[in-house]
A and B are shown apart, each in its own frame.
Chain A
Amino acid sequence: MEDMLFYDRMQFAFTITFHYLFPQLTMGLSLLIVYFKGKYLRTKIDKYNTAAKFLMKIFAINFTMGVITGIPMEFQFGTNWAKFSDLAGNIIGQTLAMEGLFSFFLESSFLALFIFGEKLMGQKLHFLTGFLVFLGSWASGFFILATNAWMQHPVGYEILENGKYVLTNFSALFSNPWLIPAFLHNQLASVVTSAFVVTGIGAYYVLRNQNVEYGRMFLSTGIVFGLVSSILLAFPTGDWAAKNVVKYQPATFAAMEGIFETEEGGAEIILIGQPNMVEKKIDNKIAVPGILSFLTYQNWNQQIAGMNEFRDDEIPTDVPGLYYSYHMMVGLGTIFMGIMALAAFLLWRKRLFGSKYLLWVIMFATPFPYIANTAGWYTAELGRQPWLVHGLLRTSEGISPTVSSGNTLFTLLGFIGLYILLGLLFLLLVGKTIYVGPESQKH
């Protein structure tokens, strides 16, 4: 039983982590594409149109990867988490089916039209198809976050005698207090990823001294998007999301922040240190007193509950994993703000394109938002453990009762092999597209 749970969790974690590498770019990138296409409509300067179409090529590759790695996500609810699907399918089936019907069709239909239909449709309609692709991809994120919000903080249900959760209030799924902060935080994180990818490509072109015109355009637009989104990411949306954790999952909050014991007076914020689970303390700690209480309650002396105040079966299963995920997310987020602020300053002083060192930094920063996004989701998901539906259903009670661990290990290994191949091919294809550059598509 322990083995079954372990392999089921590993497979879901592996496949969702890989899957989310792609949507986190497409959601943000669609916004930038709409921006460039819109700018072309207003200014009629060709290079904005070329830029939009070039980015849509990168979008399309990522979209394909997102689709083919996304189908296994939907299937796995049934294959590996049958008990959960049976008990909660009444509720999460709603939001998942809505995702398919409202966003997936929208996105895929209009992506095809955007790519093949520019000459047939005229520019205004072409802009509209781009906008609908954006709308579809964000709606997709919304429905997935609504599903996750119900698992983090279940609302609008009742429990039947046979143990099933059934929906009693449809609109509660969308007015769930967990949903909007999580959704905004997630979407902004996606904009940060796409902004870093676009500025990364821009820096590459400027440093390579090819496609320089586009390189500068990508840099200056990407930096504005990146600065604004990375600030909004921390405040207010990150702040809201954290306050939800304090309110609805206080044990998770204590674990995330690495608070083992409740301290008299205000709680310190731990910047660096390793959780020592044996002695229940943080090793090599660097902390600032009072800040955590202030950030959480706007009061320097407010007490914050430590893990000692909760039963063992309420505390997240993997405290160090959760603590590191959270700290990686916050630390990287802070660095992103710094990079973008510096770049924006130099852009304003008109010195950015000559600042070789910063351009190298921007180029090599490209993978890090992916790490931060992943760490953010690990914070949410490890933080929910040991619950599958917080307060209602233990993760161990949600797995498929009939699928043995041998079978799951077999399919997990298969997924690992296949996804490594997929990842290599993806890098090859995206690399080639970027290397060839925006100009080549004007045949």
Chain B
Amino acid sequence: MEIFWYIIISILLVTFFILDGYDFGVGIIHLFFARKENDKKVIAKSAGLFWDSNEVWLVVAGGMLFMAFPTFYASVFSGFYLPLIMVLWLIILRAISLEFRSQFNAQMWKDMWDKIFGVSSLLLALFFGIALGNIVRGVNLGGIENGISKYEAHYFFLPLWDSSFSPGNTHLGVIDWFTLTIGLIAVIVLAIHGANWIILKTNSSINNKLKSVVFNLNIALLLLTVFSLSIWHIVNPSPIKNFIDKPYFIIFPLLYLTGLIGLFFVKRLKKEIYGFSLSILVIIGGITSSIASIFPVVLPSTNDVHASLTIYNTAANEYGLNVALGWGIVGLILLSIYLIVQKRFLGGKIDDMDYGH
């Protein structure tokens, strides 16, 4: 039952990163590549139309995590207190920049919100990548110092950074050079993803240019991926052990690789949806490979005193997980219906769609 909920929550989270991921990517592309007012408008709109229903996935994933793995939820959310609250602020800023951009027809007003939209999208992508890096690297559970626990076994607290910026240090920070690398990978992946979304959903004048952008970013992604794999063993001594023990996990890195290679052919793809699908593969593969490499651990402990958090020692009781299965299935069926209905009425290019206020 724990594995079942682990999979469900992973699916919810990956869906969030696919859906809101293109929103973030659109923001990054918007910041660096959109120059003409008409492009800016239509690109912002391609994110603005759907951001709130995309963000619901985060809320639901959070709620499910709370229900199924309360100890993990409590440990991680309080331990990563500062970066999480900052993520909340960025989410709020990004949302209002999308909502308020079109309210007044003055150039400076629009420019201001455009910049906030771009910068907050970029930082969010970076933070989410850094978060993944932290999960893989692990934390000092129980706050061990000189062999003494400061907290109960499953609590910890991380400052934003430690002045050493080293993932091997006893005093860890949220940002170190390893997590920063993962953060940069996330920024590039989501930028590619966002560019593919713009190409798919709009007729902006920079669509052709964006294909070159995707190609160039993909080279950077390949280099960073190779670099991160070569340093992975520093934070996780046996990165491939899990893949040897459970050979079927190899599917996840393969997904990543397929997407990565496929994106080099972005200019020659016959349909725009193929490019978008390839960046979806990269996102799915990247996240699942990372969490599979530590499974069934969900947060490794960097000390020898306290055990790592796993899906088993953080889960809710059997009864609770069982009843949730009942309503969870009903809810997911309803959700699929909403999505199909919404798709039917709101698919296609959005350039001429009449946007609200």
Contacts and interface: CB of A to CB of B under 8 A. Distances in A.
Interface of A: 57, 60-61, 63-64, 67-72, 74-75, 77-80, 82-83, 85-86, 88-94, 96-102, 104-106, 108-110, 112-113, 115-117, 120-121, 160, 166-168, 170, 400-404, 407, 410-411, 414-415, 418, 422, 425, 428-429, 432-433
A88 B42 CA distance: 46
A174 to B, nearest CB: 11
Nearest to A143: B63
Contact of B323 (A72, A170, A407): A170
Interface stretch (B30-38, B175-183, B265-273, B339-347): B339-347
Contacts of B55: 67, 71
A206 to B, nearest CB: 24
B245 interface: no
Nearest to A403: B81
Contacts of A407: 81-82
Most-contacted residue by chain A among B70, B154, B157 (CB, 10 A): B70
Contacts of A113: 341-342, 345-346
The 9 closest A-B pairs by CB, nearest first: A89-B70, A78-B77, A93-B67, A97-B63, A82-B78, A400-B78, A101-B331, A402-B157, A100-B60
A120 B77 CA distance: 43
Given A75-B62, A105-B60, A402-B150, 11 more contacts: A57-B356, A63-B52, A71-B88, A78-B78, A90-B317, A94-B323, A100-B56, A109-B338, A112-B53, A112-B346, A170-B323
A105 B342 contact: no
B323 A167 contact: yes
Most-contacted residue by chain B among A67, A82, A108, A167 (CB, 10 A): A82
Contacts of A63: 52
Contacts of A401: 78, 151-152, 155
B74 A82 contact: yes
B66 A78 contact: yes
B341 A402 contact: no
B320 A94 contact: yes
A135 to B, nearest CB: 11
A99 B332 CA distance: 13
B79 interface: yes
Most-contacted residue by chain B among A69, A83, A100, A404 (CB, 10 A): A100
Contacts of B56: 67, 100, 104-105, 108
A97 B64 contact: yes
Contacts of B67: 89-90, 93-94, 96-97
Interface string B307-319: 0000000001101
B96 A77 contact: no
A98 B77 CA distance: 20
B353 interface: yes
B88 A101 contact: no
A176 B357 CA distance: 42
Nearest to B54: A108
B61 to A, nearest CB: 8
Contacts of A415: 89
6 contacts: A68-B91, A82-B78, A86-B75, A109-B338, A112-B346, A401-B155
A214 to B, nearest CB: 18
A113 B356 CA distance: 11
B320 A75 contact: no
Given A102-B334, A104-B60, A403-B78, A64 B95 contact: yes
A71 B58 CA distance: 9
A89 B58 CA distance: 18
Nearest to A433: B357
B222 interface: no
Given A120-B345, A403-B78, A407-B81, A78 B73 contact: yes
Given A68-B95, A97-B324, A121-B345, A414 B89 contact: yes
B239 interface: no
B99 interface: yes
A170 B323 CA distance: 7
B92 interface: yes
A298 B270 CA distance: 79
Contact of B346 (A83, A92, A94, A117): A117
A93 B88 CA distance: 20
B103 interface: yes
Most-contacted residue by chain B among A160, A407, A433 (CB, 10 A): A407
B234 interface: no
B84 A402 contact: no
Given A101-B60, A166-B317, A166-B320, A400 B346 contact: no
B209 to A, nearest CB: 29
B225 to A, nearest CB: 30
Most-contacted residue by chain A among B55, B59, B357 (CB, 10 A): B59
B335 interface: yes
Given A113-B345, A402-B151, A99 B74 contact: no
Contacts of B355: 116
A112 B50 contact: yes
B161 interface: no
A423 to B, nearest CB: 11
Nearest to A96: B63
Given A82-B155, A403-B78, A90 B356 contact: no
A98 B330 CA distance: 11
B76 interface: yes
B223 interface: no
Contact of B338 (A105, A117, A411, A432): A105
Nearest to A86: B74
B320 A78 contact: no
A390 to B, nearest CB: 20
B101 to A, nearest CB: 12
Nearest to B353: A116
A24 B323 CA distance: 30
B92 A402 contact: no
Given A116-B356, A411-B85, A101 B63 contact: yes
B328 interface: yes
Contacts of B248: none
A204 to B, nearest CB: 19
